[in-house]
Structure 1
Amino acid sequence: MKSTIYTRFVVIVAAGILVACSAASPDDKKAELTKLKQQQADIGKQILKLETEIAKANPDSVTVRAKEVNVTELAARKFDYFVQTQGSVDAEDNIQVSSKAMGVITAVFVKEGDAVSKGQTLAQIDNSVIQRNIEGMRSQLDLANTVFERQKNLWAQKIGTEVQYLQAKTNKESLEKQLESIQEQNSQTRITAPFSGTVDEVTAKIGQNIAPGMPAVRIVNTSNLKLKAKVSEAYVTEIKKGNKVVVSIPELKKEISATVTFVGKSIDPLSRTFPVEVKLPSEANLRPNMTGVIKVIFHTEPNAITVPVNVVQNINNEKVVFVYENDGKNAVARKKVVTVDGVYDNLAQVQGLKAGDKIISFGYQGLNDGQVIKTN
């Protein structure tokens, strides 16, 4: 019977070749070749099916060709459901320090790379006029204090009038407030560091006219970093503050474990995304604006059955995985219909298989249910 099948196959192929050769058009030859290849594949399947059926009915009548496969035994494992996106590193303390007053810069006390502390003077604006006003005001205040003390002593001895005493007191207090106001103006001529950090850029130059709002010095504190990213609105009910996160920084070739510290409440109408933030631990080589890949884990199955996603095949509108079984005489492939719960990291969590099942992880293409197999 096996010989008859092969004879028929040879006749069909030979006839096909004759027909193909007689065709005039190259396109017709290509179409005919495709048809013949399909017929060859179909016949091969029929041969394999008949061999398998004969082997089952009469094992000694035919030697069945076994297909070589690799198998993998399944075990329950932890399986993370996550969303992955790209973000960038940002510093909580990363600002351009500007002046509070208008004037000409007379001194710059820092350069790029300098470490500065909170309140340290970075640059000085010309304050010569204010200094002269302060000196004049102090002279007036000294006189006012002297007059006040004398009026106070005279009033204590009931000499003079209360009005004179009150006028001297009011004049002294008024000059004190004016001096305090001028000293406040003088303090605004100093550009100071709002927090401790490192000078990243100095744009202020001696002789430059500067006004409030103009950048003078950039200070960065890299001990307080975060990663900002955008996540699709499809996960708006899944992502929550406190979710575990794995951040991968390609430039550093390392992964950082963290948690979600902020989840935005609004959806961007253009990108249909919402913002998330992750506080990063202090790392010496982390820099603002570095790119990072963020993986937010929003659900974990502690004992999931997973298979490589590529072994799940669509056959007759069913999700199918082939497993290794032994029917007592031969190792055969058995078709198992499964349900896919989720696909993450090229793994699929499935229902319909159990721990201990041996799935066919290589050579599964083109297998038939009950086909004889052998493992490498």
Structure 2
Amino acid sequence: MQTKENIVIFSETSGILQDVYVKEGQHVSKGQLLAKIDDGGLEQQVSQSEIQLALTKTTFERQKRLWDQKIGSEIQYLQAKSTFEAQEQAVNQLKTQLAKAAITAPFSGVIDDIITEQGSVVSPGQSQLMRIVNLKNMYIETEVPENYIKSVVEGKDVKVEFPILGTSVDTKIRQASNFINPANRTFKVEVAVPNKDENIKPNLTAKLKINDYTSENALLIPLSIISENANGEQYIYVISNKNDKGEATVNRAIIETGKSQNDVIEVLSGIENGTEIIKEGARSVRDGQTVKVIKY
């Protein structure tokens, strides 16, 4: 079991982890403030820079109006414009740096673990602050042998069983890879797993049953009663001409088989629904033999 929204939040700036506003197990929304790192006076620098930006903007706007009226020199206009744009860029850079001090939720989910305690010194790219997990967007990724590439496709029904929970869910394949792994001749499929109650956790063991074939009127017989002749034809023994005494004739029926599962196989042709077949003793009878049918 996996989820695409399971990440550890790292610090993007240096400083002291000043405040932690959440606790483990708490549900949070995307964009919610989770923690704050001491900005070391950066907020004051932003305020001062914004005052300077306002001055350079006013100077530029006045110089532009004069230049539009052909008053003053072009160099004065270009210098005012350059000063304003440079100050604007400087303010934006400071604001970007300041924003890194505020830790916000990248998506809605649950705070799974508070890794760094309040008051600790953190550094960018190295300090793990907390883990956030969204259990509503769960999925399973598994590998399927290449001989199923035509039948195991996007949209196929899947039953996912969770032995530990004693539950199962019905879902579908949402993605089937187009790449065959040359090492083991398999391709990957991704199965979405609904998790409304959030009782399914990442890395939980699951068992998948993928419906690669469906036949509404399949005729199934035990695999153990099928034999093969010298021509490679498969056959079973059926009974016919049953009389009132329960006596019947054994006949060999050449059959064509299809898909198999566990200990049964589908019969595509050779017998019809309702045909009585010999199961017990199928290996010890012969074609044309008379037998007595006993019902248990």
Aligned AA (1:296): I
What TM-score do you get using the length of structure 1 for normalisation? Answer: 0.65
Say which of 344, 349, 358 aligns to 2:266.
349
User: Are 1:375 and 2:289 counterparts?
Assistant: no
5 Å-filtered alignment, 1:109-188, equals 109-144=21-56, 167-168=79-80, 170-188=82-100
What's the offset of the Cα at 1:94? 1.8
Contact 1:324 1:359 in 2 (8 A): no
Q: Secondary structure at the match of 2:213?
A: strand
5 Å-filtered alignment, 1:24-63, equals none
User: Are 1:191 and 2:108 counterparts?
Assistant: no
Can you list the C-alpha shifts for 1:154-182, whole angstroms capped at 9, x where unaligned? Answer: 88999976755664554344323211210
Per residue, is there more helix in 1 or in 2? 1
Q: Secondary structure at the match of 2:106?
A: coil
What's the offset of the Cα at 1:332? 4.2
Compared CA separation, residues 150 and 314, structure 1 to 2 (3 A): closer
Say which of 207, 229, 236 aligns to 1:320.
236
What's the offset of the Cα at 1:322? 5.0
- Runs of 5+ consecutive residues of structure 2 not aligned to the other structure: none
Distance in 1 (alpha carbons) for counterparts of 2:245 and 2:284: 19
Distance in 2 (alpha carbons) for counterparts of 1:295 and 1:325: 42
Aligned identity (percent) is 31
Which fold has the larger relative contact order, with Cα–Cα distance below 8 Å and residues 6 or more apart in sequence? 1
Compared CA separation, residues 314 and 213, structure 1 to 2 (3 A): farther
Contact 2:13 2:122 in 1 (8 A): no
Q: Secondary structure at the match of 1:302?
A: coil
**Alignment match, 1:261:** 174
**Alignment match, 1:292:** 206
Which deviates the most, 321-330 or 297-306? Answer: 321-330
Distance in 1 (alpha carbons) for counterparts of 2:66 and 2:246: 124
Can you list the C-alpha shifts for 1:100-132, whole angstroms capped at 9, x where unaligned? Answer: 323332222222211111112222222123223
Can you list the C-alpha shifts for 1:308-328, whole angstroms capped at 9, x where unaligned? Answer: 334x24477754345586234
**Alignment match, 1:6:** none
Which deviates the most, 209-218 or 276-285? Answer: 209-218
Distance in 2 (alpha carbons) for counterparts of 1:148 and 1:169: 5
- Runs of 5+ consecutive residues of structure 1 not aligned to the other structure: 1-88
Contact 1:264 1:275 in 2 (8 A): yes
Distance in 1 (alpha carbons) for counterparts of 2:161 and 2:221: 25
Contact 1:245 1:260 in 2 (8 A): yes
Contact 1:96 1:215 in 2 (8 A): yes
**Alignment match, 1:209:** 122
Contact 2:141 2:190 in 1 (8 A): yes
Cα RMSD between the aligned structures? Answer: 3.3
Q: Secondary structure at the match of 2:206?
A: strand
Contact 2:6 2:133 in 1 (8 A): yes
Which deviates the most, 219-228 or 182-191? Answer: 219-228
Q: Secondary structure at the match of 2:216?
A: strand
